[in-house]
Chains A and B, each alone.
Chain A
Amino acid sequence: MKFSRRVVFAAAAVAMMASAGSAMAEIRFGVAAEPYPPFTSKDASGKWVGWEVDLMDAVCAELKEKCSIVEVAWDGIIPALQAKQFDLIWSSMTITDERKQTIDFTNFYYDTPTVLIGAKNGDMDITPEHLKGKVIGAQVSTIHQKYVEAHYVAAGAEIKTYQTQDEVNQDMAAGRIDYDQADGAALDAFLKTDQGKACCELKGQVADDPHILGAGVGAGVRKEDTALRDRINGALAALAKAGKFQEITAKYPDLAPQIVLPKP
């Protein structure tokens, strides 16, 4: 069983190396099937829109490839990549050492600070000691879940995990959780909604922990797909050189102050 699987694996790897030079049929981008504005969300007609979708289009234009989006549940996105349901993860996934043990990443294509929001009460202290006994919400399988567990739960806070960031925000608005930790850009978008304006305020950026918070967002690829990884890296570098990142970001004025882009 194990032996035969390894043979299939090797054969697939050889086939992939052989075809690396030529164009692929189609590159399938795996996107978490949930609203994550302003990066990926669906408009009223069901079309994927957002900063990451625009970047995907730019990457594909650069590579002269046909691309498609495969929707997948966030919490199973890494196993789905490995099961070849699509070719790369394109879903605001942060490059971390832990994930690198399982999959490989391209270079980062954006970075955003990690922040906490909380109820509007003027209390801006977010040190772990101060948040003892508080309930902090985070999306499952994210760097935020890991961070909250390592820093806040360890100091006596409680964590609640949700399948989507949207649900964390819902419970933040309902007051069931005291704090909500996520990417600055995503929470900024929430704070600008009516619900977000009414309930919450930005508490600030959490203390850095590079091991957990990682090194920006990149596309996740299977470890053996080095050819695809290199091609995406090439495209990202070319786009950075052409000023395409700034061009895309200019369409999202609220996002511009929130993210760091790759330099040419």
Chain B
Amino acid sequence: MDWSWLLVYYPQLLHGLWITLALLVLSVFFGMLMAVPIGFAQAAGPRWLAWPAKAFCTFIRGTPLLVQIWFFYYGLGILFPLIPELRTSFLWPVLREGFFYAVVAFSLSYAGYEGEVMRGAFLGVPKGEIEAARAIGMSPFTLVRRIWFPRAVRLVLPTLAGETVGQLKATPLAFTITVMDLMGATNMIRQNTYRTYEPLMLVALFYMIITFIMVLGFNWLERLVPQKR
């Protein structure tokens, strides 16, 4: 065991940690933003909305995440030479960075999986509660905001906790498209020091600690909304 490299490389590791957290938070935020309407459309929407939502979830869940990431990063990369104006446009600083593609791919992936979870959640809210809300004259919007959505989220909070932990462990794929996340930094250390086990052990510990904190956070959230049946 040799840990002397830690003194040299800890700034890169901390920077990588920051990138990993940014990937996780951004993709869960944007993913959830998409997943709620996607789930609701499938559970209660008209057929012309339900069908594309279903198709989206099936497509995302039916293809490997790595393929999706490379599809966006290298796939779109092939198209850039066809539009030379792009390189001088204001969008280019974003389009040239792997981070942007990673956030897009991870968000869509999270939306695909959680869209399906939310569909089940919306369907799982007891009909009686919804009918009761209607009976006291709640508008459809208030019904969703006050009853249907909060009840649905509470039903699937434990599932969402697990899925979000899964999302964290999907983020290392970003290093394959030049993003220097926690995994990217670890690989750089491995390559520069020719040490294999110590950096990998440390990065595993990092992911475990983040997971532990996330699980604590979700437990706290679950206790915040007491559930009685």
Contacts and interface: CB of A to CB of B under 8 A. Distances in A.
Contact of A174 (B77, B190, B192): B77
B145 interface: no
A78 B194 contact: yes
Contact of A75 (B78, B87, B95, B190): B190
Contact of A161 (B74, B81, B96, B188): B188
B142 interface: no
A135 B176 CA distance: 18
Interface string A126-154: 00000000010000110000000000000
Contact of A160 (B80, B178, B187): B178
B227 interface: no
A76 B192 CA distance: 11
Contacts of A75: 187, 190-191
Interface in B64-122: 74, 77-78, 80-81, 87, 95-96
A175 B87 contact: yes
A79 interface: yes
Given A76-B190, A79-B196, A198 B81 contact: yes
Classify the interface of chain B: helix, strand, loop or mixed. Answer: helix
Nearest to A146: B192
A173 interface: yes
B196 A176 contact: no
Interface residues of A, number: 22
A162 B194 contact: no
- Give the size range of B's interface with the partner: 10 to 19
Nearest to A79: B196
A167 B98 CA distance: 13
Contact of A173 (B81, B95, B192): B81
B178 A162 contact: yes
A224 interface: no
Contacts of B77: 170-171, 173-174, 176
Contact of B194 (A102, A173, A199): A102
Q: Which of B188, B191, B192, B196 has the most CB of A within 10 A?
A: B191
B194 A174 contact: no
Interface string A71-103: 000011011000000000000000000000010
A232 to B, nearest CB: 22
Interface in B147-200: 176, 178, 187-188, 190-192, 194, 196
Contacts of B196: 76, 79
B81 A199 contact: yes
Nearest to B197: A79
Contacts of A102: 194
Nearest to B175: A163
A140 B187 contact: yes
Contacts of B194: 78-79, 102
A171 B77 CA distance: 7
A141 B187 CA distance: 10
Contacts of B192: 141
A174 to B, nearest CB: 3
B190 A161 contact: no
20 contacts: A75-B187, A76-B190, A76-B196, A79-B196, A102-B194, A135-B96, A140-B191, A141-B191, A141-B192, A161-B178, A170-B74, A173-B77, A174-B77, A174-B78, A174-B80, A175-B80, A175-B87, A175-B96, A176-B96, A199-B81
Interface of A: 75-76, 78-79, 102, 135, 140-141, 160-163, 167, 170-171, 173-177, 198-199
Closest 7 CB pairs of A and B: A174-B77, A141-B191, A176-B96, A174-B80, A160-B178, A79-B196, A75-B191
Given A135-B96, A141-B192, A161-B188, 10 more contacts: A102-B194, A162-B178, A170-B74, A171-B77, A173-B77, A173-B81, A174-B81, A175-B81, A175-B87, A198-B81
